């Protein structure tokens, strides 16, 4: 039997360590919703950390076994969504909140597909590619969060707006994290954008090219 109070305590510790702003914002919810938000966050944070070699965010580390890590994430998530005990608190948190709120495997898969793009060293070529990436890593999370907050899973109009909010957050994160991403060998600026600014591949963070990134 799942020890829900223990999982809630774990999830609360995770959000406090991983995001002070999210932890503060969660206080606006009623107790039940707040606990569910914490548990969903715990799963998202754990998946992200596993994929990027992080500990509750922070600096990314080199990951040599990205595909293997992704397979573990998929397997544990599928197990959690079936209501099975995984032995990993963050995934058991997902199991609880999914059962209580009606989150689906498809919703979880949409988030994991974002980690798959990073595992494949993917980068966007066009603006549409950028939006697709942002959907998987943030828009899909917005959809899950909306359902946890009480939005019906078939209320497409509201879920679309929740997705849009996630996209906006991720675009802001990408703009903010250019230096960190570059240090980790990643770039989420579309290739066509870089070419339009006449910046050689992989050189966009060089001091003499940085002013071109702010011309829009």
- In the predicted structure, residue 57 carries a pLDDT above the cut 80: no
- In the predicted structure, residue 60 carries a pLDDT above the cut 90: no
Mean pLDDT of the chain: 91
pLDDT at 202: 87
Residue 192 pLDDT level (bands cut at 50, 70, 90): very high
Please give the average per-residue pLDDT across 71-89, as a whole number: 96
- In the predicted structure, residue 1 carries a pLDDT above the cut 80: no
Nearest to 78 by CA among 66, 93, 59, 91: 91
Sequence-ordered list of residues with C-beta below 8 angstroms from that of 71, at least 6 positions apart, any chain: none
Please give the average per-residue pLDDT across 208-212, as a whole number: 86
pLDDT at 61: 53
Q: What are phi and psi of 15, to 5 degrees?
A: -75, -35
**Secondary structure letter of residue 67 according to DSSP:** H
pLDDT at 67: 87
User: Distance from CA of residue 86 to its chain's centroid?
Assistant: 21
pLDDT at 65: 82
Q: Virtual CA dihedral for 73, 76, 78, 82, nearest 10 degrees?
A: -160
Percent of the chain surpassing pLDDT 90 = 77
What pLDDT digit, counting tens, does each position of 15-48 carry?
999 999 999 999 999 999 999 999 999 999 999 9
Give alpha helix (H) positions in 29-155: 31-52, 66-81, 89-101, 105-119, 127-134, 140-148
- In the predicted structure, residue 106 carries a pLDDT above the cut 80: yes
Sequence-ordered list of residues with C-beta below 8 angstroms from that of 56, at least 6 positions apart, any chain: 14, 17, 18, 45, 49
The CATH code of the domain at 4-176 is 1.10.600.10
Give the whole-angstrom CA distance, residue 17 versus residue 11: 10
What pLDDT digit, counting tens, does each position of 145-182 carry?
999 999 999 999 999 999 999 999 999 999 999 998 88
pLDDT at 120: 87
Residue 7 pLDDT level (bands cut at 50, 70, 90): very high
């Amino acid at each position: 039997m799942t020890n829900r109070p223990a999982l809630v305590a774990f999830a609360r510790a995770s959000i406090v360590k991983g995001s002070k702003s999210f932890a503060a914002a969660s206080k606006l919810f009623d107790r039940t919703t707040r606990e569910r938000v914490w548990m969903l966050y715990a799963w998202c944070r754990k998946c992200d950390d596993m994929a990027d070699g992080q500990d509750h965010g922070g600096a990314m580390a080199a990951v040599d076994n990205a595909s293997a890590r992704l397979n573990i994430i998929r397997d544990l998530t599928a197990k959690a969504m079936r209501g099975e005990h995984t032995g990993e608190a963050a995934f058991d948190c997902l199991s609880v909140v999914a059962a209580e709120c009606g989150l689906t495997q498809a919703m979880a898969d949409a988030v994991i597909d974002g980690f798959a793009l990073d595992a494949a060293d993917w980068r966007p070529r066009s603006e549409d590619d950028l939006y697709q990436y942002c959907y998987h890593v943030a828009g899909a999370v917005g959809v899950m969060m909306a359902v946890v907050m009480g939005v019906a899973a078939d209320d497409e109009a509201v879920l679309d707006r929740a997705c849009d909010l996630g996209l906006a957050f991720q675009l802001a994160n990408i703009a903010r994290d250019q230096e960190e991403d570059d240090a980790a060998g990643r770039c989420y600026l579309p290739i066509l954008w870089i070419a339009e600014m006449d910046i050689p591949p992989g050189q966009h963070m060089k001091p003499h090219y940085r002013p071109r990134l702010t011309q829009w």
